[in-house]
Amino acid sequence: MSQAANALYRKLPSVDELLRTTAMLELAVREGNAVVAEATRVVLARLREEIAAGHLDTAGVDLAVTGIHDAVERELRRNLAPSLRPVINATGVVLHTNLGRAPLSRPAIERIAATAGGYSNLEFDLETGQRGKRDVHVQRLFAKLLGPAAYEAHTVVVNNCAAAVLLALNTLAEGGEVIVSRGELVEIGGSFRVPEIMAKSGATLREVGTTNRTRIADYENAITERTRLLLRVHRSNFAIVGFTEQPSLEELVALGKKHKVPVLEDQGNGSLFDLRQVGVNNESGVMESLRAGVDVVTYSGDKLLGGPQAGILSGRKEWIAKIRSNALFRALRLDKLAYAALEATLAEYVRGSYDTVPALRMMRISADVLRMRAEALKARLRHPKLAAEVVAGESVIGGGTAPTATLPTFLLAVTHKDLSADELQARLRANDPPIIARVDEGRVMLDLRTVFEEQVAALQEALSRL
């Protein structure tokens, strides 16, 4: 080691010396001794590395030493600032999987707040004083909501829909065969693949038909004594158009009845709300499937339902009871905060107050209202380098719902004199809170459908600061 470098090292204070300074003592009171000491060690080690690499001369070291306190604070912020944080979703994708899918309703958030910090009767029967089951907190609401279906459906809930499918396949078909159309062997974002889930469940996949056409006879010809289940999978994120054929749910159910094989439908999006109200006509919901006689339907809590992440299984009493008693259920169970949010969300459905559920409210906003909001935001933008224009466009429901269905909207199309659309998009992403927007044909497109009204001011401010 050179003498010059040694002289530089000697200029660095020790960890102990630093921790005794007033500024560091104050920092330690605020953030805790251990993390401040750790951050100080990291900062000093970094300076030693820079000296070793020959990046610092005497003046550089002196400067770095005066800045050590700031560097320690920066290091602490980097370590302790939340990584998971709120963003403004200006994409117009209502159930954006990468942005956390369904935002929770006020009542759901309040129920989480009311139960999260203390003890609750999660698995405790307050009447008898005995041990209870966590299922009961949502069962009466599901019974009410699904009551008008063709048969009295029972419901259990697990951690997400992928878990629900795994659990249903394992319970109903382990060691046997499951018949599914080649047109439904889907992959859903985040690598949920039907054939792989099937393999993990211990059931054997029996593919029938072709990618575009599968007839009821294809299913019937494949039925053997090994068949345990007929499976229908919602295509979720793609559509097959043109020369296509797929038996109706009723036909599948009739075939299942004839051969005493249950029918499982993995619906994914699982709407308990009539989507025709928002102009989406080719999506049927949970009720329609139960009415068609499907034995078990699986669906997500945080897609069209607009609640917390959850996987819901609704269906015939005997199958749901079997599913509930599978040992896997314990491994896949839902946590208490999600139960609190799910119960509150379902109560809003029972009340019929759809507009308190953000995902439903956002889907129901009319294009006229969105045009007015976009015009109002445009009028408030005063920036010499920004140009904005309100243009007609389309919002997407997302979350694997109706891949071909869109909602008419109006977009604020923004360009900047000195920045490309990609640069503009990156600047918005770097905002606090980050703003997520799409780029289309050289313009940044802001869709206010998914921007909460209380976020519009922050959006305006971010645009004005560009």
Contact residues toward ligand PLP (CB under 6 A) are: 160-162, 165, 188, 192, 233-234, 236, 266, 268-269, 300, 311, 400
Q: Which is nearer to ligand PLP, 160 or 409 (CB)?
A: 160
Q: How far is the CB of 357 from ligand PLP (least distance, A)?
A: 17
Q: Which is nearer to ligand PLP, 338 or 365 (CB)?
A: 338
Q: Which is nearer to ligand PLP, 256 or 400 (CB)?
A: 400
Residues 381, 386, 389: CA angle, nearest 5 degrees:
75
Q: Which is nearer to ligand PLP, 273 or 410 (CB)?
A: 273
**346: which strand partners?**
none
Q: What is the DSSP letter of 124?
A: B
The amino acid sitting at 180 is V
Residues 84 and 433 sit within 8 Å (Cβ to Cβ): no
Residue with the closest Cβ to ligand PLP? 268
Q: How far is the CB of 232 from ligand PLP (least distance, A)?
A: 10
CA distance 148 to 188: 31
Which residues 6+ apart lie within 8 Å of 74 measured at CB? none
Q: How far is the CB of 199 from ligand PLP (least distance, A)?
A: 16
Q: Which is nearer to ligand PLP, 188 or 390 (CB)?
A: 188
**133: which strand partners?**
none
Q: How far is the CB of 236 from ligand PLP (least distance, A)?
A: 4
Residues 162 and 168 sit within 8 Å (Cβ to Cβ): no
Q: How far is the CB of 272 from ligand PLP (least distance, A)?
A: 15
Which residues 6+ apart lie within 8 Å of 129 measured at CB? none
Closest by CA to 254, choosing from 204, 219, 207, 208, is: 219
Residues 293, 246, 166: CA angle, nearest 5 degrees:
60
Taking phi first (over 0 means left), then psi (-120 to 50 degrees means alpha), and beta for anything else, what does residue 87 get? beta
Q: Which is nearer to ligand PLP, 269 or 450 (CB)?
A: 269
Q: How far is the CB of 164 from ligand PLP (least distance, A)?
A: 7
The amino acid sitting at 283 is E
CA distance 160 to 206: 25
Q: How far is the CB of 403 from ligand PLP (least distance, A)?
A: 10
Q: How far is the CB of 147 from ligand PLP (least distance, A)?
A: 24
Q: How far is the CB of 440 from ligand PLP (least distance, A)?
A: 26
Q: What per-residue string of b and e applies to 397-428 under the rule 16 or more CB within 10 Å gives b?
A: bbbbbbeebebebbbbbbbbeebebeebbebb
Q: Which is nearer to ligand PLP, 236 or 425 (CB)?
A: 236
Between the two ends of the chain, the Cα-to-Cα distance in Å is 49
Q: Which is nearer to ligand PLP, 160 or 431 (CB)?
A: 160
Closest by CA to 142, choosing from 292, 295, 339, 363, is: 339
Q: Which is nearer to ligand PLP, 338 or 374 (CB)?
A: 338
Beta strands in 171-246 (DSSP E): 177-181, 187-188, 192-193, 204-208, 227-233
Residue keyed to tokens 């909460």: 452
Q: Which is nearer to ligand PLP, 214 or 236 (CB)?
A: 236
Q: Which is nearer to ligand PLP, 61 or 104 (CB)?
A: 104
Q: What is the DSSP letter of 212?
A: S
- Give how far the C-alpha of residue 371 lies from the chain's centroid of Cα atoms, to the nearest Å: 27
Residue 332, classed as helix, strand or coil, is coil
Q: How far is the CB of 444 from ligand PLP (least distance, A)?
A: 29
Q: How far is the CB of 301 from ligand PLP (least distance, A)?
A: 7
The amino acid sitting at 409 is T
